[in-house]
Amino acid sequence: MCIQVQQITYIHPDKEVLFQNLSFSVSKGQQLALIGNNGCGKSTLLQIISGQLQPCSGTVLRPFALYYVPQHFGQYDKMSIAEALGIDGKRKALHAILDGDTSIVNFNILDDDWNIEEKTTAALNGWGLGTMSLDQPMHTLSGGEKTRVFLAGIELQETSVILMDEPTNHLDSQGRNKLYEWVKKCRSTLIVVSHDRTLLNLLPETCELSRSALVFYGGNYEFYKQQKELLLSALQQQLNEKEKELRQVRKLAREVAERKDKQNVRSEKAAPQKGISRMAINTLKDRAEKSTTKLADIHRDKSEKLVAERSQIRNRLGEVSLLKTDFNASALHPGKILLTARDINFTYEDSFLWKVPLSFQLKSGDRIRIEGDNGSGKTTLLKLVTGELLPASGTLERTGFSYVYLNQEYSIISDGLTVLQQAESFNLRNLPEHEIKIILNRFLFPVASWDKPCKQLSGGEKMRLAFCCLMISNNTPDLFILDEPTNNLDIHSIEIITATIRNYTGSVLLVSHDEYFIKETGMKESIFL
C-alpha cells in the first residue's frame, strides 16, 4: 500500500468531531477524487495525510516523497516564490559555491542539482509564469498565480504521491485546461479534493467522506452521480412503502377502537335481557378490554416503529436529494431589449481596460457568458451592467428590468443579521412568521440555525439562504447576474444552483470558468474580453 490511514479521529478546536475511527488505504498509482459536503473535513483529511496536521488519534503511514498543493496560501505570503517551492536552500548553496564557498555543507545541500534555477524557471514558464523572479514575494501574486506556482512545483519534486486541494479554484479557462491535460497524463498516486466536475470526471475513482467512513465508488463523478440517483430512487420507494404500511396500521388501530366501543354498548344493552350477573358482566368486560388494550398496544408499538423508520429514511433522503427551487417565469416577454452597450470602455489608472470597446445587446431570455483571462475585466463589466460603475466612454442604455446580482461573496446577504432576520427582511408579502419558518426549513435551515449570524455561514449556506429569501419575496428577477457562482461551493450546493439556473426562464449573465456548469445551465452566447 502507498498510503494507510488507520483509525484516525479528528476533533475540531470548537469540539466538533469531523470524523471518527476513519480507516482506508490507497494503492500505488491509484487516483481518487475526494468529495463531500462543505465542512465534512476534506481539506483537514488531506492535511493529515500530507503530515501538515496531526490527528487526535490513529496513525497515517505515508511515503517520504509527497507533494501537497494547498487550497489557501496565506501561510506563504511572507515567502518568496523560491522559498514557497522549497528550493531556496539549494539556490543559496549554488550561489555560495559559485562565489567560492566550497564547503562540504553547500555541496550536500545542492545535491548535484546544478541547474535548479533553470529547471524552476522552465517549470514556471510551463504555467505561464516564466517572467517572474524567483525572489518575488508570494503576497504580490494573484490567487490564480499562486496556484500556478504550486502546480509548477510538481515538476521540481521527485514525488510518487500528489495531493491537491481545490486546484482549479482561482484558475482561468487556460489554466484549467492545462491542469486537465496534466491529470490525463499523470501516472503518480493522486488524491484530489475538488468541486470542478470536469476535473472529477478525469479521475477513475470517486470517494465520499462522512463522519464515520470514506465510501469508495468504482468510477468517476458521472458514475458516482448515477449511483446516488439509484440510492435516491430506492430510498423514495422505501419511504412510500413505510408510509403505506403506517396508514394501514393506523387504519387497523381505528377499526379496533371502533369495535371496542360498539362491543361495550352492545354488552351493556344485552346483559340485563340475558340475566347475566353484574359480576360476570364485569369479568367479561375486563377480558375484552385486556384483549383490546393488548391489540391496541401492538398497533401503537408498530406505529411508533414505523414512524421512527420513516423519519430515518427521510433524513437519509435529505442527505442525497436535491433542493427544489421553483421561481416564477419572468414577466417580460421574450426578446425585449434590456440593455444596449455601444463602444463602452472603462479606465484604470488613466488607461483603457479593453483594447477594443465593447458593443452588445442583452434581451429578455438571453443566456450570455462573459469570457476572458484573469484580469480581463469580467467583474468590471458586470458592475457596468448593474450601474455600480459608469463607462468612461461609449453609451450604456438600460430599460426597466429587475435583477439579482449573486457575486462570489453573496453580498445580498447581510452579515449583521441572523438567518431568521435575513429571511424576514425579504418578507415583502407580509407572510405569517410560521410560513417563513416553513420555507427556511425547506431550504435546509432548521430551528437550531435561525439565530446563527449570517457572517458565520459557508458559501453554500449563503447561496441557499439567498434563494430562500427570493422565494419568500416571491419577486422573480428579470435577470440573474452570476459572478463565479460555483467557487468554494460543495457538489451538493453546485447542483442546487445548477438546477435553479437551468429551470429559470428569465435572462442570465454569467462569469464562470466552470465548463461543466456552463454546459448544464445552457449558456447560448458569449462576450469575449
**How do the domains of the chain map onto residue ranges?**
3-220, 228-320, 337-528
What would the grid cell of residue 112 be?
Answer: 548535484
User: How confident is the model at residue 293, as a pLDDT?
Assistant: 62
* Cα distance between residue 33 and residue 183, in whole Å: 12
- The rounded radius of gyration (Å) of the Cα atoms in the chain is 31
Q: Do 134 and 117 touch, CB atoms closer than 8 A?
A: yes
pTM: 0.72
SS3 assignment, position 15? coil
Per-residue pLDDT 10s for the chain (529 aa) are 689 999 999 987 767 788 888 999 999 999 999 998 777 888 889 999 999 899 999 999 988 888 999 888 888 889 999 999 988 999 999 999 999 888 999 889 988 889 999 999 999 999 988 888 999 999 888 888 899 999 999 988 878 899 999 999 888 888 899 999 999 999 999 999 998 999 999 999 999 887 767 889 889 999 988 888 887 778 778 777 877 877 887 777 777 777 766 666 655 555 555 555 555 555 555 555 555 566 666 666 676 676 776 776 666 656 555 566 666 666 677 788 999 999 999 998 788 999 999 999 999 889 999 988 877 888 899 999 988 899 999 999 988 888 888 877 788 899 899 999 999 999 988 889 989 998 888 787 888 889 999 988 877 788 888 888 888 887 778 888 988 888 777 787 788 888 888 888 888 999 988 888 998 888 889 999 8
Compute φ and ψ for 74, nearest 5 degrees.
Answer: -55, -35
415 Cβ partners below 8 Å, 6+ apart?
Answer: 453, 454, 455
Residue 18 belongs to what H/E stretch? strand 17-26
Render 333-378 in DSSP notation, one character per residue: PTT-EEEEEEEEE-EETTEES-SS-EEEEEETT-EEEEE--TTSSH
Q: Do domains 3-220 and 337-528 have the same CATH topology?
A: yes
Question: What is the CATH T-level fold of the domain 3-220, as seen in this structure?
Answer: Rossmann fold (3.40.50)
* Cα distance between residue 194 and residue 31, in whole Å: 13
In CATH terms, the superfamily for domain 337-528 is P-loop containing nucleotide triphosphate hydrolases (3.40.50.300)
375 Cβ partners below 8 Å, 6+ apart?
Answer: 142
229 Cβ partners below 8 Å, 6+ apart?
Answer: none
* Cα distance between residue 415 and residue 209, in whole Å: 30
What would the grid cell of residue 359 be?
Answer: 458593443
Instruction: State the Cα torsion 96-97-101-107 to the nearest 10°.
Output: 110
